[in-house]
């Protein structure tokens, strides 16, 4: 598989090698050894989440308190989504910057985002299925959101679906009520760049 760093430190795009013939297709969708080499520590899988979304559904921007945070390895086995990763680490050189990757059932790319980053996506087709391999389990008191339509983020969400039809955005009540990036920062809700860096260093293996 090919790994490409995104515009935000701690986030990567993973493109697998596809082996297909008249019978179908096979690919290695996740390789723990390869990922560990990239991120500098072992990825401990604690929970696997799955969502199915109609075209136009926006989910995010979601993040978790650090520590322990929640790293995610995200794929789209069916359908298509525009995946968005946002640097919400206060004090980061790229604070407020985002990057995007098209995840679909054609190229079968994945994204990995480390602890302390924000994540969301827009579904581009009915029935788009997204899987999330998560480093920690669900923690309702430690998980938060930022308004995905906050103009300060500057995210250019898609306006048309994969089939060319116009998209009408649909958000959960929780995501609609989420604060702007500035409001979240002012309230102390966001993780700090230094604290996240310290936590990630603690995950690195100790030299023998």
Q: Specify whether 62 is catalytic.
A: yes
Q: Specify whether 162 is catalytic.
A: no
SS3 201: helix
Is it true that the peptide bond before 81 is cis, omega within 30 degrees of 0? Answer: no
Of residues 88, 92, 82, the one with CA closest to residue 167: 82
Q: Of these residues, 62, 98, 119, 144, which one is catalytic? A: 62
Of residues 114, 141, 119, 145, the one with CA closest to residue 130: 119
Q: Of these residues, 41, 132, 169, 199, which one is catalytic? A: 132
SS3 39: helix
SS3 199: helix
Active-site residue set:
62, 132
């Amino acid at each position: 598989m090919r790994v490409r760093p995104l515009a935000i430190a701690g986030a990567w795009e993973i493109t697998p090698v596809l082996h297909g013939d008249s019978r179908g297709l096979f690919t290695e969708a996740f390789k723990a050894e390869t990922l560990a080499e990239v991120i500098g520590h072992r990825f401990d899988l604690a929970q696997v989440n799955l969502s199915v979304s109609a075209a136009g559904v926006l989910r995010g921007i979601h993040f978790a308190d650090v520590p322990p945070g929640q790293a995610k390895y995200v794929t789209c086995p069916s359908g298509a989504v525009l995946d968005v990763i946002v640097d919400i680490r206060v004090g980061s050189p790229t604070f407020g910057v985002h990057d995007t990757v098209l995840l679909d059932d054609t190229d079968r790319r994945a994204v990995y985002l480390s602890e302390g980053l924000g994540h969301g996506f827009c579904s581009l087709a009915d029935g788009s299925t997204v899987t999330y391999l998560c480093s920690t389990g669900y923690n309702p008191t430690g998980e938060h959101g930022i308004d995905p339509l906050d103009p300060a983020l500057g995210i250019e969400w898609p306006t048309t679906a994969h089939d060319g039809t116009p998209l009408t955005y649909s958000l959960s009540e929780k995501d609609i009520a989420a604060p702007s990036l500035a409001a979240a920062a002012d309230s102390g809700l966001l993780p700090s760049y230094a604290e996240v860096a310290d936590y990630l260093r603690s995950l690195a293996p100790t030299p023998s």
